[in-house]
Amino acid sequence: MLARAVASAAVIVTLAAAGGAAAQTANQPPDTMAARVEACTPCHGNQGEGTNDVYFPRLAGKPAGYLYNQLIAFKNGRRKYPPMNYLLEFLPDPYLQQMADYFADQHPALPPVAASDASKEVLQHGQSLVSRGDPQRQVPACGSCHGPALTGMEPGIPGLLGLRPNYISAQLGAWRYGTRTATAPDCMQQVAARLTEEDVTAVAAWLASRPAPVNIAPAPKGTYVLPFACGSEPD
């Protein structure tokens, strides 16, 4: 008798709890990452595809490790952009990893290539640096790290396509001047330091003029060997 009373009381409690939870859910935001990253969308687009602002990059489909490194760098202030530093300062690392995974998993189409206003000579210089580098100045080809199709490699090397020239040249400029840095050995800073302003403009113009390859996914980890050590892509 007593056991039965306890059992039915337990059922009532369970039902009440379930009812409460259901009511709670109905009046709650969706329990999804999409709802949680809405703060990112005015600048980066609903699926991380980018927006009209030429300085805000596409996030969609970049390797999760790369995105996570950037989120951590903004959180710690190593990478300086106050609106980003402010948003991320008090978010736990595992949550940032989930944000990175979320945007890495988004696959909106790459934007159509905009006509370049760069001259033929500039584009040729850009193509030459991107595909062959400049051995005399110890500048490697972009593809030697960012992949033959320039789509990057898991986990830490980003693809270079689908970005606008303003963003690429702003980032290369920041690497050159040392205002953007990464974990040592900071390979990207070493490379950018060997570039001139003209190189940066040319590389940015050429990269932004490239149409999307059929497969825009980054290459799996370890697909090719990097020409030198890089803190962002540990062996």
Which positions lie near other proteins, rule CB under 8 A? 27-29, 35-43, 53, 76-78, 82-83, 85-92, 94-95, 98
150 with 224: CB under 8 angstroms? Answer: no
Q: How far is the CB of 71 from other proteins (least distance, A)?
A: 12
> Which one, 40 or 230, has the nearer CB to other proteins?
40
Q: How far is the CB of 26 from other proteins (least distance, A)?
A: 10
Measured distance CA(29)–CA(127) in Å, rounded: 47
Q: How far is the CB of 75 from other proteins (least distance, A)?
A: 9
Q: Which residues contact 168 (CB under 8 A, 6 or more apart)?
A: 160, 203, 204, 207, 208
> Which one, 79 or 146, has the nearer CB to other proteins?
79
106 with 48: CB under 8 angstroms? Answer: yes
> Which one, 26 or 225, has the nearer CB to other proteins?
26
Q: How far is the CB of 106 from other proteins (least distance, A)?
A: 17
> Which one, 82 or 135, has the nearer CB to other proteins?
82
The total of other beta-carbon atoms located within 10 Å of residue 24's CB is 9
Q: How far apart are the first and last CA of the chain?
A: 67
125 with 191: CB under 8 angstroms? Answer: no
Q: How far is the CB of 235 from other proteins (least distance, A)?
A: 24
> Which one, 42 or 222, has the nearer CB to other proteins?
42
Picking from 202, 192, 204, the residue whose alpha carbon sits closest to that of residue 165 is: 204
